Amino acid sequence: MALDAPKLNSLGFANPPADTRVVVAMSGGVDSSVVAAQLAEEGYDVVGVTLQLYDHGAALAKKGACCAGLDIHDARRVAEDMGFPHYVLDYENIFKDAVIDEFADSYLGGATPVPCIRCNERVKFKDLLETARDLEADCMATGHYIQRKMGAHGPELHSAEDANRDQSYFLFSTTPEQLDYLRFPLGHLPSKAATRELAARYGLQVADKPDSQDICFVPNGNYAAVIEKLRPGAAEPGEIVHADGRVLGRHNGVIHYTIGQRRGLGIGGLSDPLYVVKLDVDAKRVIVGPKVMLSTRVIPVREINWLGDAPFTSRSEWHVSVKVRSTRPPREAIIRPVSDTEAEVELLTPEEGVSPGQACVFYQTEGSRILGGGWIWRGA
């Protein structure tokens, strides 16, 4: 007679919760606080870890961003209230080298970077994950809105139940090895309201804390000010030029513009609206043109992280859906692999404002599974 399979706990281990150690990445916000409180209440051996990612003194003057001094305090208070240990790790140098410097250089190169993806990839799911292993944790849990489901070939990455909160665009570079170790307890919740209800039930003082809106090291979304501080002299003036060669005006620095931008160009009086269609960093030129010039069908993508079951290059084409911006819905596309990490993506319906430095994330056309993604690396 076959023996029954051992009963698994809520994190997927055949141990009692008390014998399962889980490191929770705590930002001080309501999401990760609820994850930590929920696992502690279920009886797991919880260890909370918060990363100090940039200068504390500067952070204290800023509200509404992750990882600031107030957020470290909030995370520590949750740990005290729920009775589990909490550590703050100084990752300032790692964060600067792995995220901030590339952000500045990418922006100066005319790209539109997404530093939150790099932070997940290079800091949270790399260095912090290794720290969790050093602490002999069985897994690491985060407050991200995404789902990890077991498939025929192992753990799979799936979109969150709540499409409005889904963070799959920012987590496409999670590798199969990382996915094996990670847990996302909030991904199945129907709404952010449900998370706040849990926070209130656990008596957390962060239950009504507002969500952060900005990149944590970019106060008030002012990218240009941060770049100027990191790279003095970056905001050198130049010409605003029409795609047909006409000089239409002057600008105060290419770093103030992004592909697809229409407002704030300072070149009024023209009959048709114009958009930024290219940034020529070397010539210090902002090139503008009609909206039709923003339309892109073919996108070169590199640094691909593939999460499909079959090898990426085992087919000449993959029919999928892709997102080229976090705020846009997936669109049908064909991926044509060039190598294990490079491909050409053809959009069946052209997209506007596709920009180097953004991610191109792959989804199954049916269902919620994420198949990976890569980085858009030059204008098509």
Q: Which of 66, 116, 119, 139 is catalytic?
A: 119
Task: Provide the 10 A C-beta neighbour count for residue 358.
Answer: 24
**Cα 324 to Cα 225: distance, rounded to the nearest angstrom:** 26
Q: Could you confirm whether 119 is annotated as catalytic? A: yes
Q: Which of the residues 67, 116, 139, 216 is marked catalytic?
A: 216
CB 10 within 8 A of CB 148: no
Cβ–Cβ under 8 Å, residues 344 and 372: no
DSSP 3-state of 310: coil
Instruction: Tell me the C-alpha distance between 124 and 379, whole Å.
Output: 30
> Smallest Cα–Cα separation from 31: which of 170, 143, 140, 163?
143
d(CA 65, CA 71): 8
**Does 360 qualify as catalytic in the annotation?**
no
DSSP 127-170: IIHHHHHHTT-SEEE---SEEEEEETTEEEEEE-SSTTT--GGG
Please measure the distance between the N-terminal and C-terminal CA atoms of the chain and give it in whole angstroms. Answer: 62
Contact residues for 375 (Cβ-Cβ < 8 A; gap 6+): 301, 302, 303, 357, 358, 359, 360
**Catalytic machinery residues:** 119, 216
